[in-house]
A and B are shown apart, each in its own frame.
Chain A
Amino acid sequence: MSVTPDLDRRTLLRRAAAAGLLVTPAAGLLSACAGSTPSQNDDSAGEKSNDNPFGVQDGSAVKVVIFNGGLGDAWAKEDQAIFNAKYPNVTVNMSSTQKIKTEEQPKMATQPSDVVMNSGADMMDISTLVNEGAIEPLDDLLAAPAWDSEGTVADTLLPGTVGDGTYQGKFFVVNVAYTVWGNWYNSVLFDKEGWTPPKTFDEFFALAPKIKAKGMAPYVYDAVHGYYPRWALMATVWKSAGKQAVIDIDNLKENAWRAEGVLPALEAWEKLVKDKLLLPGKLDHTQSQQAWLDGKAAFIQVGTWLKNEMAATIPPGFEMKISDYWGLGATDKAPNDVYAGAGEGIVVPAKAPNKAAAKEFLRAVLSKAGSAKFAELTKSLASTKGSGDNVQDAALASANELMKNASSDLISIKLWNFYADLDKESQNLSAELMAGRLTAAQFVDKMQAAADKVAKDSSITKQTRDA
């Protein structure tokens, strides 16, 4: 679930390896993780209690595999310490890697690890894992009492975390990192100039000339990856047209793109481009982020991994803060919905030998103490509520603040996870709109046409969402 495009070269190599699979007999391995029915024998059954809800057996061992990517693996060692403080006689064999699929998939059908963080470029396809019955539903983890706070584990999670890990009605994936998307700005600069971060496009358009007068471009975006500007476009669509309109769009409902509020949202972006408020040139994600850090532009939109990603090149006296995506103003149907969600998923294989300890370990990961360490070490929010409360980091604090003021609904778009064709088309059109080669009306027409085409195509399996 890594949201950053990371290294293009790495993706290339992955694709090359996958292309090799296409034409080699090894293709049979692709389905090698096909599990038989989940084994029912609970060989790890210890005494169950409120304090030990899964019955972890003293003296047993649990094997944990951590994805060592942008977030590192230091946070997981803290969780191990928390776990071992309670279960000194349970051995935690922790290892970390970037090659999750390469190393873990062959073991899934026989002797898998107990806890696998399925993330990064080389991750196992989640819907395949679910369809093949290869991973364990973790609904009992949600219902278990929280490690070090009141209520159940589910009660301690940030909104969206349960939904993001639920497939076909069951909770399978514990997404540990919580990402908030929005518009970033340099608060030191804004304080000095007396600017306030806008809440609506109108406020932004009013502020833009003042920014330009300082020799800065008001806005910079990633022109390489179409899904970067797409987050922002769709966030505005959601705020303006409301949740139901986006649900209809995701469900390929007829004329969903022509719903009230969709076009005006995109027209705001069209105006931003037409008024030449963008930094000239076409940059990729890190180049645009660096241009923003260098003070060439006032705003950039991206997720909360930004600080970690750019840590090496943040200039002194630069204080990055996130603010909510802009809406249109009074006509907005959902002005206070924030774009946020959980990622970096951990799964428990159905054939894991020590599932009790695996779930208990996850309970430790989601603990207050563990998630606080996570936020402190990674500068990203954990999926557990309040993880960033005691971290002295302005970027994290601003994300925390944004979440506290958010309404209960979170912006989430499923379109691009449902259909590869619409993923491609929406990325391309978003880039075209931002390049000024497409008007908002053309964008709507083309998206509607693409959606209709998918809806009519019987070879594509349809998916739906209710909320």
Chain B
Amino acid sequence: MRHGVARFVTGFLALPVGLYLFYVVWPFLQAAGYSLTDWGGYSDRQQFVGLDNYLRLFSDELIRKAFWHNVFFLITVPLFTIALALFLAFLLNVGGREDKAGIRGVFGSGLYKVIFFFPQVLSLVVIAVMWQQIYRADGQGLINGMLMKIGLVSEDEPITFMYDPEPFLGVPAVLWWLLLIAVWSGAGFYMVLFSAAMQSIPKDVYEAAILDGAGRFHTFFRITLPLLRDTVSVAWVYLGFIALDMYALVFVMTPSQGGPNHASEIFASVLNFTAFQKGQFGYACAMGVALAIFTILLAALQLRITRRERIEY
């Protein structure tokens, strides 16, 4: 009987595992293989060059620039997204006044949940195209238009958003504007994630805290946040992946896909340029493999640091 179950399960798993190996793992291995060659992408000629492509990565100025831009997103995207999502989730679930029905969210929280989640249903490209109109750098842009109407921005000098490489806190302004979109579009999903986690926290814990005279500030930092630790940690890893990508936003929104003049260049945009415009697939594969290794290390490190005893309610 037991034996039969094992065979039954294996039978079901064989096909998906096979597909996974063929369509995911095998291409990864192939890319790793190509990264050791000087393949140009359009012929069957390629030469083995060993680790040359990887060594080249270290002396490539553009890659270095792109790397630091990715690091910027790596720090800021999770930080701001999680902070905003936590804040919203707290307000929607336990931030309201307590009454006879117990702890609840602020008035109208059901509606807010839908509104905040809304960006998640849109594809990232749709979001980018929409924000192009919001960020439009003349009087017809949503933000510029409104600010001009109330006289905060002069008609002759609109805010240039995606075209502004001037550094703010040492980082080109265009990256901050991209960050705003990433946080806006991501916060809704994590709000729902955190809401679900918060709802699994027993209400009596809150009630006890309130009886003891804890305000919203203390309930959040002393109860909610510590009990959400696991969820926040996972969210941080996911958002780290998103921060290392950012490709769709940069590709659709920035001038020359990474501009102005490389001010918003990221790993993926350099990779795209190297492979499809320069025709250096081997080198581009090396970039991809390097990024993959970096991502895996980061995720491992992140989960390791935040690992600790689980709390059973």
Quick one: closest A residue to B248, CB to CB?
A: A12
B20 within 8 A of A: no
Q: Which of A160-215 contact B (CB under 8 A)?
A: none
Q: Which residues of A contact B (CB under 8 A)?
A: 8-9, 12, 15, 18-19, 22-25, 27-28, 30-31, 34, 125, 128, 131, 223-226, 276, 279-283, 287, 291, 420-421, 423-424, 427-429, 431-432, 435, 437, 459
Identify which of A224, A280, A291, A432 contacts B157 (C-beta below 8 A): A280
Known: A280-B157, A281-B138, A420-B279. A30 touches B163 (CB 8 A): no
Q: Which residues of B contact A (CB under 8 A)?
A: 23, 26-28, 30-31, 38, 41-44, 125, 129, 136-140, 144, 155-158, 160, 162-163, 165, 248, 251-252, 255-256, 259-262, 272-273, 275-281, 284-285, 288
Number of residue pairs A-B, CB distance < 8 angstroms: 113
Quick one: closest A residue to B126, CB to CB?
A: A9
Interfacial chain A residues near B275, Cβ < 8 Å: 18-19, 22
Quick one: closest A residue to B43, CB to CB?
A: A31
Identify which of A15, A223, A225 contacts B272 (C-beta below 8 A): A15
**Is the Cβ of B31 less than 8 Å from the Cβ of A22?**
yes
Interfacial chain A residues near B251, Cβ < 8 Å: 12, 15
Interfacial chain A residues near B276, Cβ < 8 Å: 15, 18-19
Nearest-Cβ distance from residue B54 to partner chain A, whole angstroms: 15
**Please, could you name 24 A-B residue pairs with CB atoms under 8 Å apart, sorted by A?**
A12-B248, A12-B252, A19-B275, A22-B31, A22-B275, A23-B27, A23-B288, A30-B42, A31-B43, A226-B256, A226-B259, A281-B139, A281-B144, A282-B137, A282-B255, A424-B273, A427-B256, A428-B261, A428-B262, A429-B261, A431-B260, A431-B261, A432-B261, A437-B165
C-alpha gap A223/B288 in the complex (Å): 30
Interfacial chain B residues near A424, Cβ < 8 Å: 256, 273, 277
Identify which of B30, B44, B138, B273 contacts A34 (C-beta below 8 A): B44
Nearest-Cβ distance from residue B172 to partner chain A, whole angstroms: 12
C-alpha gap A8/B162 in the complex (Å): 15
Nearest-Cβ distance from residue B228 to partner chain A, whole angstroms: 35
**Is the Cβ of A24 less than 8 Å from the Cβ of B27?**
yes
Interfacial chain B residues near A18, Cβ < 8 Å: 275-276
Known: A125-B42, A281-B139, A424-B273. A226 touches B27 (CB 8 A): no
Quick one: closest B residue to A283, CB to CB?
A: B138
Known: A125-B42, A281-B137. A19 touches B272 (CB 8 A): yes
Quick one: closest B residue to A427, CB to CB?
A: B256
- Beyond A23-B31, A281-B144, A282-B137, 6 additional contacts (C-beta under 8 Å) are A15-B276, A23-B28, A27-B41, A225-B256, A281-B139, A420-B277
**Is the Cβ of B260 less than 8 Å from the Cβ of A432?**
yes
Identify which of B160, B259, B280 contacts A428 (C-beta below 8 A): B259
Quick one: closest A residue to B163, CB to CB?
A: A282
Interfacial chain A residues near B31, Cβ < 8 Å: 22-23
